[in-house]
Chain A
Amino acid sequence: MASELISVRNLRVSFGSDAGTAKVLDGVDLAIRAGEIRGLVGESGCGKTTLARAILGILPRNSARIESGEIRFGGRDLLTLPESALASEVRGREIVYIPQDPSTAFNPVFTIGTQIDDLMRFKSPLLRGGADDRQGFFNSYPRERRAADRARVLELLRLVQLPNPEAVLRKYPHEVSGGQRQRLMIAMALLPEPKLVIADEPTTALDVTVQAQILKLLKQLARERGVAVLFTTHDLGAAYEICDRITVMYAGQEVEEAPVDGFFERPSHPYTRKLLDSLPSSEAGIRGIAGEIPRLIDPPPGCRFHPRCERATGICRTERPPPEAVDALHSVRCHHRLSATEPAS
């Protein structure tokens, strides 16, 4: 599709360890349009972070291996791009990152201002196409650009509702609160005027009361700028709050993708249905999902959900279901998908 900003196709990633090779991503497909806010939902350990890091090209080098696939972005395959090009042209420019834990993502021994300065020195939108668009340690930081960048920084810090931005810049990371740190992370993500923000569980480490504010802020700023967001979470409620579309992942396979409404109204994958059923609600209370996530070292063949699926048949054990359209916007990977009218199991 032409309007796709990024498209991940058939991505397989495995982690080697003493115990064996864990096949953590197993043929993942994912496409995000420009300006779209996409939720990536799944239980902890299903591979959300791995997918996010694969897109950024920051998987741990000594243990992770990309077995197959491509990640198309801006007409290029990020997986074949050399590391130097990725670092200078993609990361921090086109694709940015908001980490899970803002308290450890800041460098503890430099002021926030220093860290933002260095970001702008190399990633400022004013650099785009400019003559000094090179990377290097001793690159000059021309005074005019520095002043202009500084103005942008202060403006954005105001937009993320940080009180007294000048003072914040002089502080060390441990001197500001967790919520403020995450606001700073959002600001830093938007400063380079990227096309895609990868926010890996950006609120999990925060207080519940702060979570909602941060999400609202992220959504609002992304919308205003038309930036696409890949938002990973295990919290369906949070996904509902801010996403346009949701992709559900199970044990390294994406299983269903739908617009938010369709997702909550017509879940078509048995796993999605169970996820929704496990949500605390007035009638059902909290119900866990029976069974355990499979070991990824020797994962179940075919549909990885089959050991826990009540609808599983022979074909589920041998073949991974192809994506099927539920409607124009909604697709699911299941040999025996639920129809809209079916009651909860």
Chain B
Amino acid sequence: MKTLVLIVNRLIWFFPTVLGLLAIVFFISHVIPADPAAFVAGENATPETIAAIRARLGLDQPLHIQFVRYIEAILEGDMGRSIFTGRPVAEDLMSRLPATLELTLVTIVVASLIGIPLGVVSALKRNSWLDHALRVVTIAGLAIASFWFAILLQLLFSMRLGITPLSGRIEGWGPEPITGFYVIDALILWDMEILWDALHHMILPVATLALPAAATIVRFTRAGVLNALESNYVLYETAMGYPRRLVIWKYVLRNALIGTVTQIGLIFGILLAGAVVVEAVFDWPGLGLFAVNAILSSDYNAVMGFTLIAGTMFIVVNLVVDILQGMIDPRETR
């Protein structure tokens, strides 16, 4: 019941936020450009094509009618056609979604597995050389441009040492998509070769993306643990002789993680942004690579479609995180 109230409460803000996102994208795509139709048609379009598009999009109509039409189209899943692939943008995006999701999800898991213990240790050994070293490393991790880091990794491990694949998601064509997540598909097919190959291809992209994500997790976990360590309940638990390890890895950690979970929404944003360039560098056939190709070929519908999808995913993730946090934090009542 409490959970239901919570979900409804968060959903109330979900729809206005998505509508707001649509308004922003509409503004960028329909209001800012002098001639939106020319954008949509692409660089090599003839005046006739442009005129046809202008009529189809109703660009001669007043703005508010255009907006309503725009929303109607989006609701029907119509984001226009891609000049580059010639297919509907929505279809293109959907077919590339699993690749990006797989990459980001694996990254979040990896980053948490590295970041949470390091954050705890950093807090426990506050002001030790380890803590100072981690401080510098995490700040550095957030200061490196992902595209550059990706290139460096590729240069070293793929080109010089030859121990990781240069690019792509898999050798050859990959398995017939079931879920589109290669790791899951490989497990369903119980094909260890595919599984290994998919994981092998993931190493460098995941490493690149995990660096800033893990850095963020370390910092938040550290702050959360320090906060908890200074709390009255830890004082009480210590005074009552609860074993130290129990206090830290159960009582302190749970409190600290509630704060960290909130940050996963933020981290997802970092990852999505990172995916654009990381996918471009590693030729990872996901949303990011699609967006970069769209930018390079001035494929306007595709760029706007990507913005919309990325924004919506981000909003949905934050919604889920919000609800999750409400569920794991017993004090949350709203």
B-binding residues in A (CB < 8 A) = 53, 56, 58, 86-88, 90-93, 96-97, 99, 101, 104-111, 118-119, 122-123, 135-137, 172, 174, 188, 198
CB distance from B259 to the nearest CB of A (A): 11
Cβ–Cβ contact B233 & A105, under 8 A: yes
Please count the residue pairs between chain A and chain B whose beta carbons lie under 8 angstroms apart in the complex: 83
Question: Do B245 and A137 touch (CB < 8 A)?
Answer: yes
Q: Which residues of B lie under 8 Å from residue A105 when comparing CB positions?
A: 232-233, 235-236
Is B251 located at the chain interface by the 8 A CB criterion?
Answer: yes
Cβ-closest chain A residue relative to B333: A174
A58, B330: Cβ atoms closer than 8 Å: no
Question: How many Å lie between the Cα of A86 and that of B231 in the bound state?
Answer: 21
Min distance, Cβ B131 to any Cβ of chain A, angstroms: 13
Hey, what's the 0/1 contact readout for B124-146 against A, CB within 8 Å counting as 1? 00000000000000000000000
- Asked if A108 contacts B331 (CB within 8 A), the reply is yes
- Note all chain A residues with C-beta closer than 8 A to B233: 104-108
Q: Within 8 Å of chain A (Cβ to Cβ): is B75?
A: no
A-B contact pairs, 10 of them (CB 8 A): A53-B239, A92-B242, A104-B231, A109-B258, A109-B329, A110-B251, A111-B330, A119-B240, A122-B243, A122-B246
Chain B positions near chain A (C-beta within 8 angstroms): 231-233, 235-246, 249-251, 254-255, 258, 328-331
Is B331's CB under 8 angstroms from A58's CB? no
Closest B-chain residue to A91, C-beta based? B241
Closest 9 pairs between A and B when the two form their complex, measured CB to CB: A92-B241, A91-B241, A97-B239, A104-B232, A105-B236, A92-B240, A172-B330, A107-B233, A137-B245
* Residues of the B chain whose Cβ atoms lie less than 8 Å from the Cβ of A110: 251, 254
Query: Which of chain B's residues have a CB closer than 8 A to the CB of A90?
Result: 241
The answer on a CB contact under 8 Å between B236 and A99 is: yes
Closest to B231 in A: A104
Across the interface, do A87 and B236 meet the contact criterion of CB distance under 8 Å?
A: no
Q: How far is the CB of B256 from chain A (nearest CB, A)?
A: 10
Say which residue of B240, B243, B254, B258 sits within 8 Å of A97 (CB atoms): B240
Instruction: Output the least CB separation between B249 and chain A (Å).
Output: 7
Measured CA separation A97–B255 after assembly (Å): 22
A108 touches B330 (CB 8 A): yes
Decide: B246 and A91 in contact? CB cutoff 8 A: no
| CB atoms of A122 and B241 under 8 A apart | yes
**CB proximity of B177 to chain A, nearest CB, Å:** 41
What's the Cα separation between A188 and B240 when bound, in Å?
Answer: 9
Task: Pick from B239, B254, B331 the residue with the most CB of A within 10 Å.
Answer: B239
Given contacts A107-B233, A172-B331, 16 further A-B contacts (CB under 8 A): A58-B235, A87-B241, A88-B241, A97-B239, A99-B239, A104-B232, A106-B236, A107-B251, A107-B255, A109-B255, A109-B258, A119-B242, A135-B243, A136-B245, A174-B331, A188-B240
Residues of B close to A106: CB separation below 8 A:
233, 236
A86 neighbours in B (Cβ, 8 Å): 241
* CB-nearest residue of chain B to A139: B243
Give the chain A neighbours of B239 by CB distance below 8 A. Answer: 53, 56, 58, 91-92, 96-97, 99, 198
Known: A91-B240, A97-B240, A174-B331. A109 touches B246 (CB 8 A): no
Provide the residues of chain B in CB contact with A137, threshold 8 Å.
243, 245-246, 249
Give the most central of B235, B240, B241, B258: most A CB within 10 Å.
B240
A122 and B241 alpha carbons, distance in the complex (Å): 8
Q: Which residues of B contact A56 (CB under 8 A)?
A: 239
Residue of A nearest to B228 (CB): A107
Q: Which residue of A lies closest to B230 (CB)?
A: A60
Decide yes or no: A58 and B243 within 8 Å by CB, A104-B232, A109-B255, A172-B331 being known contacts: no
In the assembly, what is the distance between CA of A237 and CA of B235, in Å? 28
Query: A257 to chain B: closest CB distance in Å?
Result: 25
Q: Are A109's CB and B241's CB within 8 A?
A: no
> Looking across the interface, which residue of chain A has its beta carbon closest to that of B240?
A92
Nearest chain A CB to B192's CB is how many angstroms away? 33
A108 touches B240 (CB 8 A): no
Q: Which among A91, A109, A136, A172 has the greatest number of chain B C-beta atoms within 10 A? A: A109
**Residue on B with the closest CB to A136?**
B243
Given A58-B235, A99-B232, A109-B258, the answer on whether A123 and B243 have CB atoms closer than 8 Å is no
**Cβ-defined contact, B243 with A88, below 8 A:** yes
| Contact across chains for B330 and A118 when beta carbons are under 8 A apart | no
The complex places the Cα of A88 from the Cα of B241 at a distance, in Å, of 6
Residues of A within 8 A of B232 (CB): 99, 101, 104-105
Q: Which residues of B contact A136 (CB under 8 A)?
A: 243, 245
Q: How far is the CA of A308 from the CA of B258 in the complex (A)?
A: 51
Contact between B331 and A87 (Cβ–Cβ < 8 Å)?
A: no
Bound Cα distance from A93 to B243, whole angstroms: 12
Residues of B within 8 A of A58 (CB): 235, 238-239
Expressed in whole angstroms, the minimum distance between the Cβ of A227 and any Cβ of chain B is 15
A174 adjacent to B236 (CB under 8 Å):
no
Distance of A94 from chain B, by nearest CB (Å): 9
Instruction: Please name all residues of chain A whose beta carbon is closer than 8 Å to the beta carbon of B258 when the two chains form the complex.
Output: 109
Contact yes or no, B244 A87, CB < 8 A: yes
Q: What are the residues of chain B within 8 A of A92 when measuring CB–CB?
A: 239-242
- Name which residue of chain B comes closest to A191, CB basis: B240
CA distance A172 to B332 in the complex (A): 12
> Which residues of the other chain, B, contact A119 by a CB distance below 8 angstroms?
240, 242
A135 proximity list for chain B (CB < 8 A): 243
CB–CB A123/B245 < 8 A: no
Within the complex, the shortest CB–CB distance from B1 to chain A, in Å, comes to: 15
Q: Are A123 and B241 in contact (CB under 8 A)?
A: yes
Interchain CA distance A188-B236 in the complex, whole Å: 11
